[in-house]
Amino acid sequence: MTAAVAVGLLVAGGSYLVLQRGLLRVVLGFVLLGHAMVVLVLAAGGDRGGFALPGNGGGEPADPLPQAFVLTAVVIAFAVTVYLLGLLRAGSEEPSPADDDARGPS
């Protein structure tokens, strides 16, 4: 239940920020949406099982596949964030008049 509320809040906040006018807010919205998907996949893995140690008497070990998906999603979300921030910085630089003179007549 707590994970569902967290996912809902992250998706709502991320969607709101993506629809804003400022580019930095759009990037932060994508970050929140990425975190929402990470929490969603991690919660889908469930909470069953304890430590898989001999003599522990623990039940069935936890499935490592959702954890691997979450790790992959974190890396991809970080790469997309860095790419979007690079685009934001490149797009915010104003061209100088010297750039027009160096290009020559068109």
For 5-24, what is each residue's pLDDT tens digit?
Answer: 999 999 999 999 999 999 89
pLDDT digits (tens, 9 = 90+) for 64-92: 888 888 899 899 999 999 999 999 898 87
Is the residue at 55 inside a domain? no
On whether the pTM is more than 0.75, the answer is no
Structural domain of residue 84, as residue ranges?
Answer: 24-46+64-92
Give the C-alpha separation, 49 to 73, whole Å: 24
Q: Taking the CB of residue 89, how many other CB atoms lie within 10 A of it?
A: 10
Is the residue at 73 inside a domain? yes
Is the residue at 12 inside a domain? no
Give the C-alpha separation, 81 to 68, whole Å: 20
* Total domain count, the chain: 1
Is the residue at 29 inside a domain? yes
